[in-house]
């Protein structure tokens, strides 16, 4: 099957690693996947690519066009991409009422299938016919390995314990202030709070394996890959109850779901630090291995065809 992925190319490293990894999972199944990236911000930045993509599609033929994020899907629809599969992310259905309205219009007139990442996203979208399919995790890349080896890569102090805020603090939706205020309640001098700023996806497994606890305090999420990737590395986790986090973590010993209360978060971090070994997160999310998710994605393509 020949597939074209249409997505933003605005990240520092170009295409989103989530989109790139999903494309690779299909390539490993023997399918041909090409990538068309949109380098522009806001509606005007995206809309100018309608004509560029239209010309591109006249020169190339694909069995399926798969657009990631709503703005990319709007561009693909206006460019005449068919049949069109659309993956919505958390920001598509959580951040903007106007965007949700546009999603319903384009779904009715142009889109063949919509994929969301969690039941919570389906509820937020208000569209009953969406398909729920989480992003897969590359189990070959995200795996447990020695903390000593990981610390050599991160260059963190080996004599300290490390709490990893699994996002860039500058992203307001990630709610760094709550994480910081919870950390300040911890009565430990040997603990440092770390965060992720411009870390290449290839190095992410090292940061997970170097951390003693992963924390997530976002105001909202869809189905955060960072939690699934940390689970695949058998990390201890403390995360607020947003998106599908509770469903993903479930009752994994050493992992905790909390409310938006700094004292509760601090207490759960303490409990995670006291947990004496790695978790069994990798086993608990084996159903989210990219090799398991990719055939399910192909099934959705075949339904559209």
Report how far residue 44's alpha carbon sits from residue 48's, in angstroms, rounded to the nearest whole number: 6
Q: What is the CATH number of domain 147-287?
A: 3.40.50.2000
Sequence-ordered list of residues with C-beta below 8 angstroms from that of 271, at least 6 positions apart, any chain: 256
Q: Is this model's pTM higher than 0.85 or not?
A: yes
Higher-scoring residue by pLDDT: 201, 61: 61
The model's pLDDT over 203-233, given as tens digits with 9 standing for 90+, comes to 999 999 999 999 999 999 989 999 999 999 9
pLDDT of 110 above 70? yes
Q: In the structure, what pLDDT confidence band is assigned to residue 61 with cuts at 50, 70 and 90?
A: very high
Of the pLDDT bands very low, low, confident and very high (cuts 50, 70, 90), residue 12 is low
Query: What pLDDT score does 97 carry?
Result: 80
Same fold, 2-136+289-304 and 147-287: yes
Query: What whole-number distance in Å separates Cα of residue 184 and Cα of residue 151?
Result: 23
Quick one: the chain helix, strand, coil %, rounded to 5?
45, 20, 35
Question: DSSP per residue over 65-80, as a string?
Answer: EEEESHHHHHHHHHTT
Contact 9, 69 (CB under 8 A): no
Alpha helices in the chain (DSSP H): 17-27, 42-47, 49-59, 70-78, 90-94, 97-109, 119-125, 147-154, 176-183, 204-210, 225-232, 245-249, 262-274, 281-284, 290-304
pLDDT score, position 13: 65
Domain map of the chain by residue range?
Answer: 2-136+289-304, 147-287
pLDDT at 92: 85
Q: Each residue of 23-37: pLDDT tens digit?
A: 999 999 999 999 999
Q: For domain 2-136+289-304, is the CATH number 3.40.630.30?
A: no
Measured between alpha carbons, how far is 110 from 295 in angstroms, rounded to an integer?
25
- Please state, for a pLDDT cut of 90, what percent of the chain lies above it: 83
For residue 96, name the pLDDT band (cuts at 50, 70, 90): confident
């Amino acid at each position: 099957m020949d597939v074209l992925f249409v997505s933003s190319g605005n990240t520092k490293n170009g295409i989103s690693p989530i989109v790139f990894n999903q494309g690779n999972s299909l390539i490993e199944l023997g399918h041909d996947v090409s990538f068309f990236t949109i380098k522009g911000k806001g509606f005007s930045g995206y809309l100018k690519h309608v004509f560029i993509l239209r010309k591109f599609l006249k020169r190339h033929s694909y069995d399926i066009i798969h657009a990631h994020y709503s703005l990319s899907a709007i561009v693909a629809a206006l460019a005449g991409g068919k049949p069109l599969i659309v993956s919505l992310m958390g920001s598509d259905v959580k951040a903007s009422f106007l965007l949700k309205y546009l999603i319903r219009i384009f779904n009715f007139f142009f889109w063949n299938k919509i994929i969301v990442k969690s039941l919570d996203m389906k509820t937020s979208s208000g569209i009953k016919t969406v398909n729920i399919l989480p992003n897969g995790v590359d189990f070959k890349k995200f795996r447990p390995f020695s903390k000593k080896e990981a610390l050599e890569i991160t260059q963190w102090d080996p004599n300290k314990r490390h709490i990893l805020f699994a996002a860039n603090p500058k992203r307001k939706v990630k709610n760094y202030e709550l994480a910081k205020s919870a950390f300040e309640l911890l009565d430990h001098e040997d603990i440092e709070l770390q965060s992720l700023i411009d870390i290449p996806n290839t190095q992410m497994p090292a940061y997970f394996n170097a951390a003693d606890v992963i924390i997530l305090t976002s105001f909202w999420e869809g189905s955060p890959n960072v939690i699934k990737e940390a689970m695949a590395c058998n990390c201890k986790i403390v995360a607020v109850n947003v998106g599908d986090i509770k469903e993903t973590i479930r009752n994994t010993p050493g992992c905790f779901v909390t409310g938006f209360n700094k004292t509760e978060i601090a207490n759960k971090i303490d409990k995670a630090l006291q947990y004496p070994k790695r978790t069994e997160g990798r086993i608990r999310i084996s159903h989210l291995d990219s090799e398991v998710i990719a055939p399910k994605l192909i099934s959705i393509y075949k339904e559209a065809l």
